[in-house]
């Protein structure tokens, strides 16, 4: 059996170990320095796939460095048109339709005056009588306001035309156009040639709330 020499202290061994340790520390520090100075990793790109109604597929790759864009869109709104008002069924709807067709503000005060006016002509529970709520002679073929129309929409069109076409109604038009106080518009109605009685200059005029009634099916055309 071979003899193993006892371990002896070698001064060069400590020197070599010290050099190795220093070299290892220096390498670790250099690696840390390189890591800290390296740029951050790029964001990961995203891929999106879209399928059309025809079955084709479109793939879009968006770079991770792409920044979002905030788009400001204009506000938009809508307001009712003729078809909306034509689809009504009540005396209030008809009064509002006349305001719309005549180009008057559709304010509560204007609609209230029109509904009161309609009540004076036909009463609230039969306001659609002969499809002529205001007993308008313009285009109804009846003279003296006792004619009739095919439907209530046609009646509203003729009412709007009459108000703008007859000079004696100009004060009524001005009152509605400015949404004047109800008393001002009603005084203009009494003074106009619309009714031969002039509504007894207002003594026959009612200020009680007008009940809302729907007309029979088919009266609106």
pLDDT tens-place string over residues 76-87? 555 677 788 878
CA contacts within 13 A on the Cβ side of 190: 15
Report pLDDT for 42.
55
Percent of the chain with pLDDT over 70: 64
Quote the pLDDT of residue 88.
Answer: 85
CB 116 within 8 A of CB 210: yes
Per-residue pLDDT, 90: 97
The full set of domain ranges for the chain reads 83-202
In this structure, the number of other CB atoms found within 10 A of the CB of residue 87 comes to 12
Q: What is the pLDDT of residue 181?
A: 98
221 residues of the chain, pLDDT tens digit each:
444 344 343 444 444 444 444 444 444 444 444 444 555 555 556 665 656 555 666 666 666 665 555 555 555 555 677 788 878 899 999 999 999 999 999 999 999 999 999 999 999 999 999 999 999 999 988 777 889 999 999 999 999 999 999 999 999 999 999 999 999 999 999 999 999 999 999 998 999 999 999 999 999 98
Q: pLDDT value at position 142?
A: 72
Which pTM value belongs to this model?
A: 0.65
**Distances in Å between the alpha carbon of 91 and those of 2, 4, 20, 101, 212?**
126, 123, 104, 15, 6
Give 164's contacts (C-beta < 8 A, 6+ positions apart): 102, 173
* Per-residue pLDDT reduced to its tens digit, 190-199: 999 999 999 9
Distance, CA of 160 to CA of 157 (rounded, Å): 5
Q: What is the dihedral of CA 79, 85, 88, 91, to 10 degrees?
A: 110
- pLDDT on residue 146: 87
């Amino acid at each position: 059996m071979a003899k193993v020499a006892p371990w002896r202290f070698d001064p060069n061994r400590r020197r070599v170990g010290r050099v190795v340790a220093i070299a290892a520390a220096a390498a670790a520090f250099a690696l840390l320095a390189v890591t800290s100075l390296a740029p951050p990793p790029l964001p990961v790109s995203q891929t999106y796939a879209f399928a059309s109604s025809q079955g084709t597929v479109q793939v879009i790759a968006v770079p991770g460095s792409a920044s979002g864009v905030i788009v400001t869109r204009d506000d938009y709104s809508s307001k009712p048109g003729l078809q909306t008002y034509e689809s009504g069924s009540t005396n209030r709807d008809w009064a509002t339709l006349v305001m719309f067709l005549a180009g008057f503000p559709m304010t509560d005060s204007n609609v209230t005056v029109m509904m009161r006016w309609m009540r004076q002509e036909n009463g609230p529970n039969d306001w659609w009588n002969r499809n002529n709520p205001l007993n308008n002679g313009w285009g109804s073929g009846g003279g003296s306001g006792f004619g009739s129309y095919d439907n209530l929409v046609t009646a509203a069109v003729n009412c709007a035309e009459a108000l703008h076409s007859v000079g004696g109604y100009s004060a009524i038009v001005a009152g509605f156009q400015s949404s004047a106080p109800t008393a001002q518009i009603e005084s203009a109605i009494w003074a106009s040639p619309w009714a031969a009685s002039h509504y007894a200059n207002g003594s026959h005029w009612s200020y009680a709330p007008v009940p809302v009634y729907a007309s029979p099916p088919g009266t609106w055309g």
